[in-house]
Structure 1
């Protein structure tokens, strides 16, 4: 794993499943022109997910092979599904952009914070339990999947206090606006408003 340069930052969007962290992260990333780094997952895409855009969806066998090669800096198992992040992908992304973003569960966010320290800025996205449950139903998730994901809700919410920033997400445009303004301070691009 290489050392990060002073201005290289990793914005990690985290929070409970159903909080809208993906929609928020992708909107903020597009607005600020950040490069997205994808994790690997050993599950099938959920409705609306696209391989190579949301995750690298791979077989458990290929995941095991990459893991045996020591390729993952973040390697977690959630509900019997393995998720991982490769340091090579992070290093490659920094060749294109000085700031990158990722979408990780709280466990993955914590691993990245321990690995890269102050270069990691965690943005915690949340909504109340009933809202995240309804969002998952609206996505067409199966009841057993919803139950499994909600079983982590309280532990995920507790991680909020360890993050650098936290935002309620009930209105996507408002949340994206607030986060974009917050992250501009880290980017130090000295933007000037013109009449």
Structure 2
């Protein structure tokens, strides 16, 4: 069996189509398990507790911070988001690669603890297109959209330290690129050293 990637971390500004790309990757690659983050915010329409996020109260989230439950956590737009150590360990102990959908600050924390993880940044075609996509989602006020658009500028500055960048100009192309990245990483020689040694005794 090939050495597992262990974790692939995907980041992007809101409105780039990242969640859709991640869902398509999961559907195409059964060896990957999605890391369901915890958040203190309320669910959006069509979001399912335990599938999209684990929705908990602000007080419960703060308690878990104090107890050291998170491998990474951030505060965005007045709400907490975090990745549980237990979620990561459960996936890895069951031989699954792990997909994490987190913003750049959280990704940096993951990189410190999992330096062999694969980091992918998804970009919109242009700033104007990003703004259009944010407005098209239709579930936030104009003020909230302005805040998210402004936040995206600082997030975009982080792209240069990521391993891969995908421009989501066309969804099918972006999905193909994400799946290709995953399969290419599984073929890297350093991830196959164990199998090479077992088969050829090199």
Interval containing the TM-score (normalised by the shorter chain): 0.7 to 0.9
Q: Is the 8 A contact 1:35 1:97 kept in 2?
A: no
Q: Is the 8 A contact 1:8 1:94 kept in 2?
A: no
Q: Distance in 2 between matches of 1:176 and 1:97?
A: 24
Give the unaligned 5+ runs of structure 2: 193-202
Render the CA deviation track for 1:98-139: whole Å, top value 9, x for unaligned.
Answer: 311010011111111112112x11110011222222212211
Number of aligned positions between the proteins: 184
Give the unaligned 5+ runs of structure 1: 1-5, 191-195
The TM-score, its normalising length taken from structure 2, stands at 0.85
Counterpart position of 2:38: 40
Q: How does 1:173-192 map to 2 (within 5 A)?
A: 173-188=172-187
Q: Distance in 2 between matches of 1:10 and 1:104?
A: 12
Q: Is the 8 A contact 1:47 1:139 kept in 2?
A: no
Q: Which has the larger radius of gyration?
A: 2
Q: Is the 8 A contact 1:28 1:180 kept in 2?
A: yes
Q: Secondary structure at the match of 1:125?
A: strand
Q: Distance in 2 between matches of 1:107 and 1:163?
A: 12
Work out whether 1:25 is the aligned partner of 2:25. Answer: no
Q: How does 1:1-195 map to 2 (within 5 A)?
A: 7-33=4-30, 34-118=32-116, 120-127=117-124, 128-140=126-138, 141-188=140-187
Q: Distance in 1 between matches of 2:113 and 2:143?
A: 33
